[in-house]
Amino acid sequence: MSLYVWVIPVILIAPDTKTKIAQFNLVIEMGARYLQPSSRTLGALFASLAVLFYCHPDPMIASRWRDYAMAMGALVSTAPYEIYAVFPTNDKIGNMGQDLKITQAADFGDKRDKEVDELLKKWRKRHIGRIVAPFGALLVSIWTVVTN
């Protein structure tokens, strides 16, 4: 949520397109380095919990496996969403950054400068979709713990 609330807005006030793209690419790089592995770990955790609860000898406890499987299923939906809704914007902004490196300019000096701003705003909106599934998984797991 912090990406929506303050990271992208801060990037948008950068003085030139080159800086905006560099800052955005750093955010993407850090996300790939830290958030992606933690998401995979969270999915593995929910899968492990589902298996462990499923194998429990007490039927009341064993019945909770479905909740953790549902939480894992919610997380799985994040990957296709990212592939189709988020990553193309990452790639487009990255390619625009490569174009700027070739010209060694701070701005394109044409409509592409405004396009970068629009792509950042688009990415910001679509990022909300990345939050929904993990938040749903969190709610399911909290509900499971609280109600049992």
Q: For the chain, how many structural domains are there in total?
A: 1
| Angle made by CA atoms 19, 25, 28, in degrees to the nearest 5 | 145
Q: Using one digit for the tens of pLDDT, what is the confidence trace for 73-106?
A: 988 888 899 999 999 999 999 999 999 888 888 8
Examine the pLDDT at 133 and tell me if it is beyond 80. yes
> Tokens at residue 75, please?
């997380």
User: 3-state SS string over 52-117?
Assistant: HHHCCCCHHHHCCHHHHHHHHHHHHCHHHHHHHHHHHHHHHHHHHHHHHHHHCCCCCCCHHHHHHH
Q: Using one digit for the tens of pLDDT, what is the confidence trace for 2-53?
A: 787 889 999 999 999 999 999 999 999 998 898 888 888 988 999 999 999 9
Place of tokens 């990957």: 79
Examine the pLDDT at 1 and tell me if it is beyond 70. no
Q: Using one digit for the tens of pLDDT, what is the confidence trace for 113-131?
A: 999 999 999 999 998 888 8
Q: How many CA atoms lie within 13 A of 41 on its CB side?
A: 5
- Which residues constitute the domain of residue 85? 2-147
